Chain A
Amino acid sequence: MRVLLVEDNAELVSLLVKGLARSGFAADSVGSAADAAHAMAAMRYSAIVLDLGLPDEDGLTLLRSIRGRADATPVLVLTARDGISDRVNGLRAGADDYLVKPFAMEELVARLQALLRRPGNLLGRQLNVGNVSLDTEGRQVLVDGTIRAFPAREAAVLEILMRRSGNVAPKRLFEDQLFGLSGDVGSNAVEVYVHRLRKMLGDCGARVKIHTVRGVGYLLAEDKGG
């Protein structure tokens, strides 16, 4: 997996390149928008990590020109700008995700993996949380390496939760993905599937927990015991 890191701070670049390498990403780094354009012309990257504060050009301008070329390469924007009036600017210009400095290395890796796992990208057919794994291809659930038979709907709920593990998956997302536009969703249909899924995970000793965020959705997190 080759990513392009566009960042002008040399020290941060060397630390990030090493950190990404530890997680299996080969990163090329450039320190200016002009060099980034050259690199992108020469090579096809799986993703671009773009710092907005570049010496020669605003990162947003570069982002717009990438999107202007109908280039769909996922772009993860890094920024030190997180002002009240800044926040949405990056995403509006076509960024796929947004990370404010400083950030944890594992957060950067997780976000990159999430971008590469999006439809059309092949990375990470396997999702892992705690001792639970899910193969997105066949929706096969493994707990502690043992294949467990989960009904299709429950497996689908688990996939949605695992794709967003650590974050809230809004209830609406389940309704849309489980029932599409076709079915008339009962008000507690999602609740019923989540309840069943909880029981199944518990029965087979999964160390994950589905937290209900009432009024918003569900959050899957590793169960640290207790």
Chain B
Amino acid sequence: MTRFRSITSRVVALHVVAIGVTSILMPLALYWLLNAAANNLHRDALRGQAFTVASYLKPMPDGGVSLDIPPEAEPIYSGGYGLYVYAILDARGKVLFSSRGDGQPLASPAAPLSNEWFEQRRSTGTVLIGASVSRSIDGRLYWVQVGQDLAHRDVIIDDIVASFFPRVAWITFPILLLLLLIDILIFRRALDPVREASATATSIGPTATDVRLPEQAMPAEIVPLVRAVNQALERLEAGFRAQREFTADMAHELRTPLAIMRARVDSMDEGPLRRSLQTDIVNMTRTVNQVLDIAELESFVVAGGERADLQAVCADAVSFMAPLAVDGGKAIALTGVEAPVWVRGHAEALFRAVRNLIENAIRHAPSGGSIEVDVAADGTVRVADDGPGVPPSERANIFQRFWRRDRARADSRGLGLAIVARVAAAHDGSVSVDDRPGGGAVFTLRLPPA
């Protein structure tokens, strides 16, 4: 059944086969039934005639019988078209009376004398069909045989078989087709809840794990599946919740002591120790923030339909990082389109990606150097610096967690670019690094348009 994936198409396919078989079998059955009914009618008519003829038998004083057919009934037994012939036999099979006057029984002499239906093939090639009934007069048994030439069967009966049948046979086909159509409609209706549930299911994601598929109105056969899926979602949600709570708890547990430490150091007297401790805390805070971002990005998925203005995101990121750049004696600029650039994405996640790219550029640009953030209408952000650039051999590594060119350098690239890579991946985008014409590195973040 691999060719018919949908239930409806399976039903239709099976139904078409069923219609094919039925439209052959049904006319055949109808034909057989009609013939049987026609034969029954015919037999009853012949038996009725046989009883009528038998009623004309009268006992005679000599112990024999006489046949008194009223003159007005005589023509019926002339044997013409649609008419009858008869023969009356005694118990031994001797013909006493016969409409044909040939002294022969209608049925073959070998045929048993009984209350039976018989058919007699005659030398002329036609078939005589008839019925025989017995009648007892004065203790003696007589057989009355009444027959009719098959070629002369009742016109009405012939008509039924001959003309009614083809019409009935033809009407079965459209009826079966109509049935098929109705069945498809019924099926589609029955599967509507499944379709709705599927639409609901597409909205499920790590950002929306509280969605459950509706069980009511669902066909009973599918309810167990729906229930199982909902239970799986329940467990999934619990997992995501645990992950989120863990990240939030971790944030609290790490940042609160850092806040105390910072406040304590800030209350110290001005001096080189205070300044270096402040720098240590700033560096540690940065690492903690990045670790928390990485942890959150572990289970981060952009909700369907979410969009962000990449131009505004970049303007925010440049504003946010400008004080750090200025502090380091570096210029920073935002170039490219000034109109909104809508991309499919989470504004805050994109902000962090661009911020990390800028942070990386500031760290590598020389004092007096410049950082340029360029936004293109196709959803591309380029962050260029005039630092030493990234050698081709390192380009694949720098987006990995905790990778550092120089392990001795405390403030070197740690998690920043890994965060960028994760955000890009979560958006079905990409990030890459190239040489900047004229020296330096240019990081390109590409995002799918909204």
Contact = CB atoms under 8 A, between A and B. Distances in A.
A214 B267 contact: no
B266 A170 contact: no
Given A83-B296, A84-B297, A213-B333, 17 more contacts: A12-B259, A15-B260, A53-B252, A82-B255, A85-B348, A88-B348, A102-B259, A106-B266, A166-B323, A168-B319, A168-B323, A170-B319, A213-B319, A213-B332, A214-B331, A214-B333, A215-B315
Interface residues of B, number: 46
Interface stretch (B66-74, B108-116, B285-293, B441-449): B285-293
Interface of A: 9, 11-12, 15-16, 18-19, 22, 53, 80-85, 87-88, 100-106, 166-168, 170, 211-217, 219, 221, 226
B281 A102 contact: yes
Given A12-B263, A18-B267, A80 B315 contact: no
A102 B258 contact: yes
A221 B326 contact: yes
Contacts of A85: 207, 296, 348
A83 B258 CA distance: 17
Given A80-B255, A102-B281, A102-B285, A213 B262 contact: no
Contact of A84 (B256, B332, B348): B348
Contacts, number: 121
A215 B297 contact: no
B262 A81 contact: no
A103 B331 CA distance: 25
Contact of B262 (A53, A80, A102, A166): A102
B264 interface: yes
Interface of B: 207, 247-248, 251-252, 254-256, 258-264, 266-267, 278, 281, 285, 289, 292-293, 296-297, 300, 315, 318-319, 322-323, 326-327, 329, 331-336, 338, 346, 348-349, 352, 373
25 contacts: A15-B263, A15-B267, A19-B263, A19-B266, A84-B293, A84-B346, A85-B207, A87-B348, A101-B255, A102-B263, A103-B259, A105-B263, A105-B266, A167-B322, A168-B318, A170-B319, A214-B331, A215-B315, A215-B336, A215-B338, A219-B322, A219-B326, A221-B323, A221-B327, A226-B329
